[in-house]
């Protein structure tokens, strides 16, 4: 901002990150994809890596994420983003590679790919958007749908006898040797959003240090398919999702611990 004579120079306190394109997104009101995109973009800017980043979009509501991130991007087949990321990162290890995936993409059809990418210690970062439902296809059960939760394919509420139990992905992947940093955070209020950004930053820093696979699971809202207002949705995350999906660091190898301390 330029100074105007007689007035103190104003400080720029808020701007669109360079890593986010100046285009409107298609997300619903109250959807936290926008927040998650922004967090990732801010971190890419702060780390100065936008120009060597390649983002991989999922099949899901974020299928068009490559239109929103101001980086090279690719669109993966459903669940296969970790395999694509593997191919890209192995050929270009000095680049920053991330996948951005929903709960169907990562935990249903793509569960093999994410587990093995973690096991191989593939040096990319996964942003995992857990909103306990399939958004893009209008509200079916996801692997992370809670017991008793109503969805279009569990209209009377998820019955664990028939449909089994939800997967706690962060915990699952934390058990895989090869992961460097596996964390779960939430996007349901400002405090948690700030903590989420810290975790995303740690994850990308782990990648830059070549420490292995990093993932941040982000509890997210889907007001449209949960059939709630945005404020109700945020409350639902706090009251129902957080107790089942605790917010914590599930895997932090020593070198990542050191990175976090140096901040």
Q: Which residues bind another protein (CB under 8 A)?
A: 50-54, 56-57, 63-64, 66-67, 69-77, 80, 83-88, 90-92, 95, 112-113, 115-116, 120
Please name the residues in contact with 31: beta carbons below 8 A apart, sequence gap of 6 or more.
61, 135, 220, 221, 222, 223, 224
CB of 54 to another protein, least distance (A): 5
Q: Which is nearer to another protein, 4 or 91 (CB)?
A: 91
CB of 174 to another protein, least distance (A): 19
CB of 67 to another protein, least distance (A): 8
CB of 207 closer than 8 Å to CB of 216: no
Query: Which position has the token pair 């191989």?
Result: 120
Q: Which is nearer to another protein, 54 or 211 (CB)?
A: 54
Q: Which is nearer to another protein, 74 or 209 (CB)?
A: 74
CB of 100 closer than 8 Å to CB of 58: yes
Q: Which is nearer to another protein, 112 or 160 (CB)?
A: 112
Q: Which of 96, 119, 104, 91 is closest to 151 using CA atoms? A: 104
CB of 11 to another protein, least distance (A): 29
Q: How far is CA 106 from the centre of its chain?
A: 11
Q: Which is nearer to another protein, 77 or 242 (CB)?
A: 77
CB of 84 to another protein, least distance (A): 3
Alpha-carbon span 252 to 232, nearest angstrom: 33
CB of 120 to another protein, least distance (A): 7
CB of 152 to another protein, least distance (A): 22
Query: Which position has the token pair 């895997």?
Result: 251
Within the chain, strands assigned E span: 53-57, 72-75, 96-102, 125-130, 179-186, 213-219, 248-252
DSSP code string of 105-153: IIIIITHHHHHHHHHTT-S-EEEEEE-SSBTTTTSB--TTPPTT--BTT
Q: Which is nearer to another protein, 60 or 223 (CB)?
A: 60
Q: Which is nearer to another protein, 95 or 150 (CB)?
A: 95
Q: What is the DSSP letter of 254?
A: H
Strand partners for 106: none
């Amino acid at each position: 901002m330029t100074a105007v004579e007689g007035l103190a120079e104003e400080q720029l306190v808020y701007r669109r990150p360079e890593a986010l394109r100046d285009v409107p997104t298609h997300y619903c009101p109250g959807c936290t994809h926008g927040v998650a995109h922004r967090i990732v973009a801010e971190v890419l800017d702060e780390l100065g890596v936008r120009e060597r980043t390649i983002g991989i979009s999922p099949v899901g509501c974020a299928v068009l994420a490559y239109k929103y991130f101001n980086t090279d991007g690719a669109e993966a087949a459903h669940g296969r983003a970790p395999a694509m990321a593997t191919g890209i990162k192995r050929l270009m290890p000095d680049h920053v590679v991330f996948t951005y995936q929903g709960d169907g993409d990562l935990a249903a059809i793509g569960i093999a790919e994410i587990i093995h990418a973690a096991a191989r210690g593939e040096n990319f970062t996964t942003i995992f958007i857990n909103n306990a439902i399939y958004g893009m296809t209008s509200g079916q059960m996801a692997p992370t749908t809670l017991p008793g939760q109503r969805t279009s394919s569990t209209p009377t509420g998820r019955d664990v006898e028939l449909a089994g139990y939800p997967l706690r992905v962060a915990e699952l992947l934390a058990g895989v040797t090869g992961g460097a940093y596996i964390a779960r955070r939430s996007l349901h209020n400002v405090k948690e959003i700030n903590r989420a950004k810290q975790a995303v930053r740690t994850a990308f820093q782990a990648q830059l240090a070549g420490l292995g696979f990093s993932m941040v699971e982000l509890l997210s809202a889907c007001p449209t398919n949960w059939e709630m207002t945005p404020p109700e949705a945020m409350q639902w995350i706090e009251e129902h999702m957080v107790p089942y999906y605790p917010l914590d660091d599930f895997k932090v190898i020593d070198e990542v611990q050191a990175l976090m301390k140096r901040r």
